[in-house]
Amino acid sequence: MSIEIYVGNLNYDTNEDAIQTLFAEFGTVENVSIIQDRYTGRSRGFGFVTMSTEEEGNAAIEGINGKELEGRALTCNHARGKQDRPPRRGGGGRRDRGDRGDRHQD
């Protein structure tokens, strides 16, 4: 059974190939994804790695957590599922506040 690993504190210039190479030392890497900002396309400094077995994933977490990659000490742990969050409230824009009495009527 595969295991998903959270990888944090990535250098913003780190690419998926560098992470693939690092994790491949511990077993079969099924997938690597670096999370990017949807507006700028720039890395957000974290990502996820899927390893083929739980044993390989645990070995990777133990071997990589705290290890330096491209000048940053990585944080590795078991990925948690997306948590339920309340819906975001809309913001910005002008809201109709009704007549405030500041207009003159002729």
Q: Which CATH number covers residue 69?
A: 3.30.70.330
Domain membership flag for residue 54: yes
Q: What is the mean pLDDT of the chain?
A: 88
What is the number of structural domains in the chain?
Answer: 1
Domain membership flag for residue 84: no
Specify whether the CB–CB gap between 36 and 10 falls below 8 A: no
Domain membership flag for residue 15: yes
User: Which pLDDT score is estimated for 40?
Assistant: 94
Domain membership flag for residue 57: yes
Domain housing 38: 3-78
Domain membership flag for residue 89: no
Domain membership flag for residue 35: yes
Digit-coded pLDDT (tens) for 45-76: 999 999 999 999 999 999 999 999 999 999 99
Cα dihedral sign, 59-82-71-32: positive
Domain membership flag for residue 46: yes
User: Which H helix or E strand runs over 75?
Assistant: strand 75-78
